[in-house]
Amino acid sequence: MLLIVGTVRLPAANLERALPAMRAMVEASRAEAGCLEYGYAQDVLEPGLIHVKELWSDQAALDAHFASSHIQAWRAAWPALEIGDRALRVYDVGAPRST
């Protein structure tokens, strides 16, 4: 499994305009084969800081995600929404365990 975690930033004033594009991206990604989890969450202390968490079954699923039309549309929206400062990392992970 592949875990992607990190953050992206946008001006807090642009968050309301970004929500429909973010929702479309999350919904389309969650419907993809091999997507086990996909979500965005706004930081409670820093407006405009969005936490990203994705879990993919394997590299082939992630590659298909990166080639999808919805990720291309999402990335095309970034300049107008002033989305930047991407800090995402991919980790190879094993099976989850209870804490």
Which stretches in the chain have pLDDT values below 50? Answer: none
Per-residue pLDDT, 75 = 93
CA distances from 60 to 2, 63, 69, 87 (A): 10, 5, 16, 22
pLDDT in tens, 50-66: 999 999 999 999 999 99
**Residue 98 near residue 10, CB atoms below 8 Å:** no
**Angle 51-53-58 from CA coordinates, rounded to 5°:** 155
Per-residue pLDDT, 96 = 84
Per-residue pLDDT, 62 = 97
Beta bridge partners of 55: 3, 37
Q: What is the CATH number of domain 2-92?
A: 3.30.70.100
Burial class (CB in 10 A: 0-12, 13-18, 19+), 80: exposed
Per-residue pLDDT, 26 = 98
Per-residue pLDDT, 99 = 83
What pTM does this model have?
Answer: 0.91
Domain ranges of the chain: 2-92
Per-residue pLDDT, 95 = 85
